[in-house]
Structure formats: structure tokens, C-alpha cells
Amino acid sequence: MATPLLGDPNFRRTVVLVVEHEPDQGTLGVVLNRPTEVSVGQVLEPWTELATGPSVVFTGGPVAPTSALALALARGDGEPLGWRSLDAARQMSRIGLVDLDAPPQVLAAEIASLRVFAGYAGWGSGQLQAEIDEGAWYVLPGDPADPFMADPQRLWQAVLRRQGGELALVSTYPDDPRLN
């Protein structure tokens, strides 16, 4: 999660799910709380019915913004066809990447929630750790419902609040403290 000190407009007040982390190669993540106004139907019409509301494409990050990827929450314990598990904590093990080239009807019965993202966030080897060390990011446990929150623009505050203590207080940090 971006701390209030992170001023980069690509990541200001974002919640990023780390999808892949290879210490030698870098880190790939997806910004979870940046919905666009582009409907899933406009770019991936076959996936419209499976998309969790709001049924729009989300900005997943500044890297490869014309590419699409989808996160899904599996209904059961098994991995659906065309599924790639994430390098995430155990509590997030039911979330994976979906092959958008697969026919949606094949996956429909096995997917509880689905979100489509344009682009992703990427960091070179050691880059994300350096940003964490300088105080730009909080490293917090995720919840399987986070990527599919009905009101994604409130996700940053909601995740901070559920941490309790000082982080719950950070959730009330004003957008621009000069105007407080």
C-alpha cells in the first residue's frame, strides 16, 4: 500500500497486489483501486458477464497500458483451467491470473469474481525494497475480497482501517494536508 508520502501520481493512495516477486529479476504487481470509465464490454466483450462490478477495466499500472490481464477468485480449492496462481501469501491462494484467450464459458463455473486490468506495475531487482525502506510503501496482508471490492476507490482507506492502531489513523490522512 502506498503511504501518504508517496507522491508519484501513478501510485498515489494505491493498493497494489504483488503478483510475482523474483529477487533477482524484480517485482510485478497490479494496482487494485484505479477504475477507468472503459467498460469491460468495450475491450473484452466475452468477459463482460464474469466481470465483478463495477464492470470496467482498471488501470493496473503504468507498464504496458495497452495489455490486459485479469485476476479472479476461484470458487473452490482447486485451480480452474487456464489459471496461474500468484506468488502471494496463503490467505490469497484462491486468487490467480486468468488466461483471457480461454473461452469465458469454460471458466465461468469456477470463478466467483473477476477483474480486468490494463497494464501493470513493475519494479526492477531491489527497486521495490528500496522504496519500502525509504517509507513509500506499507507491506500489509491482503484479503481475497480486496481485488474485487464493490467500491474500489475506498479500498486504500478500508485496508488501512482494518489494520488497527496507527495505520487505522493514517486512513484519515487528508488528500492535501495543506488544506486541512
178 found inside a domain: no
Kindly write down the DSSP assignment for every residue of 94-107, as one continuous string: TEEEE-TTS-HHHH
Give me the chain's average pLDDT, please: 91
11 found inside a domain: no
Predicted local confidence at residue 88, as pLDDT: 54
What residues make up the domain containing 69? 16-173
Predicted local confidence at residue 156, as pLDDT: 97
CA proximity to 146, closest of 73, 66, 45, 62: 73
Structurally, the chain folds into a number of domains equal to 1
Could you give the percent of the chain with pLDDT greater than 70? 94
Asked if the model's pLDDT at residue 83 lies above 80, the reply is no
pLDDT band at 176 (very low <50, low <70, confident <90, very high): confident
Asked if the model's pLDDT at residue 4 lies above 60, the reply is yes
pLDDT band at 101 (very low <50, low <70, confident <90, very high): very high
9 found inside a domain: no
Read off the pLDDT of residues 26-43 as tens digits, 9 standing for 90 and up.
999 999 999 999 999 999
E strand or H helix at 148:
none
3 found inside a domain: no
Asked if the model's pLDDT at residue 90 lies above 60, the reply is no
180 found inside a domain: no
154 found inside a domain: yes
Residue 142: which CATH number? 3.40.1740.10
Predicted local confidence at residue 93, as pLDDT: 73
10 found inside a domain: no
Read off the pLDDT of residues 124-151 as tens digits, 9 standing for 90 and up.
999 999 999 999 999 999 999 999 999 9
CA proximity to 121, closest of 68, 71, 60, 72: 60
* Cβ proximity of 47 and 100 under 8 Å: yes
Q: Which grid coordinates belong to 160?
A: 488501512
Flag the least confident range among 15-19, 113-117, 131-135, 176-180: 176-180
Residue 42 sits at φ, ψ, to 5 deg, of -70, -30
> Could you give the dihedral angle defined by the CA atoms of residues 28, 125, 87 and 69, in that order, rounded to the nearest 10 degrees?
20
2 found inside a domain: no
